[in-house]
Amino acid sequence: MSRLTVRELVAVHRLEFPFWVNTVCQALWGACFAVATPADLAAWPVLLAIVANVVLMEAGLVLNTVADLDSDARHPERGRLTGAAQRLGRRGGLRLATAEFVLGGSLAIAVSLWTGHWLVAAAAVGTVVAHVLYNVEPMRWKSRGLPGAAVFACGVIALPFVTSYAAVRADLPPEVVLTSAGLTLLAAGRVVWWSVPDRDADAAAGQRTTSVRHGAVRALLLTCLLLCTGLAALVWGLWWYGGAVAALVGAGGHVVFTGTVVALLRRVPAKRSVSSIRLRRTVMPVVLVADVALVGVGLLAG
C-alpha cells in the first residue's frame, strides 16, 4: 500500500462535503433520541459509541471504495476517487477497513462492558456484517438490487442508530423504532436514487444494481415508493415522539428531497444526462439540512 496523501484518504473514506456531515449526524441520531438533555451527549459511554459508529461506517465506505474499483474506473466523474483507490490497492484497502472495523467494534464492546447494555456491541457487529454483505464476494449484495439497498441502509442508519441509542438506554420504545425505520427506508431510497447516475459504469463492471436490473425510470419509481413509505414512518414516529412541530421540522427536508426525485423522474425519460457530481452539490445539501434538523429534534423535542 502506497502512503496516501490527506486528500486521498479523504477520497477513499468518501469524506467529501456534505457526506462527512451526514455520517456524523447518522452516528449521533440514536443518542440524540435517548438522552434526557443535550449535556448527556458528553458522557464517556455516549461519546465512545458515537466515535465507534463513525469509525465503523467509514470502514464500510473504504470497503466499498475497493469493492467498486472496477465500476468507478469506468465512471467519467470518479477520476480522483479511482486514483486514490488504485494507490491504496485492494489489499491495502482491505487491511485499512479491517483495522477500522476492529477499532470501532472494540469501542462498542467497551461501551457494552461499561454500561451493561450488550445491544451496543450487537448492533456494532451487525453494522460490520451489513457492510461485508454489501461489498464482499461471493455475497456482494450491492448486485442484488433492492435487498442490497436495504442492507446498506441498515449498515449506515438502523444499526448505528441502535448502537448510540443503546449506549444510553436499554429499551427501544415504538416511536423510536418507527423513526429509525423511516430513516432507514429513506436511506434505502437514496441508495436506489444514487444508482441512476452510476448505471452505465455499474453495468459495464457487471454489477446488477437496481437501476441496472430495472432501468433508470423504474429505479426512480421504486425510489419514490421507498421515500414515501419512509416519510410516512418518520412523520408518525416523530409526531409520536415530539408532536406536530417535531414531525414538520424533522421530515420537512426529506419532503423537499422527494420532490427533487420527482423532478429527476421527469428528466430521465427525456434522455437528459444525470451527473452524480451535480446531484452531490445541488441535492445532497437538502439531505444535509434534514439530517442536522433531526439532531435538533432528537435533542429538543422529546
Domains and CATH numbers, the chain: 6-300 (1.10.600)
String of b and e for 118-131 (b: at least 16 CB within 10 Å)? ebbbbbbbbbbebb
- Residue 225's alpha-carbon distances to 104, 147, 213, 214, 258, in angstroms, are 34, 15, 17, 15, 10
Burial zone of 86 (CB within 10 Å; 0-12 exposed, 13-18 middle, 19+ buried): middle
* Average pLDDT over the chain, rounded to an integer: 87
Greatest Cα pair distance in the chain: 57
Cα–Cα nearest to 142, from 64, 78, 79: 64
Residue ranges of the chain with pLDDT lower than 50? 270
**What is the reported pTM?**
0.91
Inter-residue contact 58 to 78 (CB < 8 Å):
no
pLDDT for 81 equals: 67
**Left if phi > 0, otherwise alpha if psi is -120 to 50, otherwise beta: which for 215?**
left
Contacts 24+ apart (CB under 8 A), 291-294: 291/21, 291/22, 291/25, 291/26, 291/253, 292/21, 292/25, 293/249, 293/250, 293/252, 293/253, 294/25, 294/29, 294/32, 294/183, 294/250
pLDDT for 270 equals: 47
